[in-house]
Amino acid sequence: MTRKIFFYLLILLLSGCTGSTMERKDSTQYDKGSFNQLAKLDQDRMADYEIRENIESLKILMLKLYKRNPNQLKKTTSDNAEQAVNWVFYGGHKWELEQINNVSDFEAVYQAFDSEFKGDRVLSLITGLYTMLVKAHGNKTEFFITDSIDPQNLYNMARNIEITMWMLSTKKDSQGKLLLLSNEINNEVANLSYEREFGKMIGRLDYFAYTLSEKTERVITRMIQNVTTGILLPFI
């Protein structure tokens, strides 16, 4: 019996070591012994991980939306979808984009689903979600001991993603066509990959919000919000 327990523990240790050596394609890996990491608590590292992974999800969603809605990409650039996503996230424009009237966060999300808007809806939507996400984290993307994140804002951001998902699947133009195509379910195709990626973002935000709430003893007010109102929740 003892030998079996030792065997299972050994497997867990080896699997943990294997997982820890996996490399990411971006430059966000860090060494816990580095100078920067000395100024971080565990909750700071958790915040780094959560926002980093959610930004990666936004890149994936933007690429998928452009490929599903190539007409929107053409409104902004002649580049392919991959090049456009790289420009949006690494272009040094500070998310001030003339192509979408220089709007951001809430206004950019609403604009993406405004039937009168003639610009790039994908660009407007992702810009809005990214800038909302950063705002929910106190306008930071890396965190240290001196930083503070309100878990209520993380909770509200998760609900805002749920509301965005509803708008994405219901908002239509005057001809009754969806303003942006995403999930698809019919007799031949069942594509729910957009919903799954948004679901990952919601899960990370909720998990970190409740973990942070316990650590900081800040109570989260659970707002009963009907997503069909299409009204995004503000941040504190």
pTM over 0.95: no
β-strand pairing of 184-185 with 190-191 = antiparallel
Is residue 134 within 8 A of residue 81, CB to CB? The reply is no
pLDDT at 35: 58
pLDDT at 184: 83
pLDDT at 215: 87
pLDDT at 34: 62
pLDDT at 21: 35
- Nearest one of 64, 174, 178 to 112, comparing CA atoms: 178
What string of pLDDT tens digits covers the 236 residues of the chain? 444 433 333 333 333 443 333 334 454 455 555 657 777 989 999 999 999 999 999 999 999 999 999 999 999 999 999 999 999 999 999 999 999 999 999 999 999 999 999 999 999 999 999 999 999 999 999 999 989 999 999 999 999 999 999 999 999 999 999 999 999 877 676 789 999 999 999 999 999 999 999 988 888 998 777 788 889 999 98
Is residue 120 within 8 A of residue 179, CB to CB? The reply is no
Pairwise CA distance, residues 66 & 104, whole Å: 19
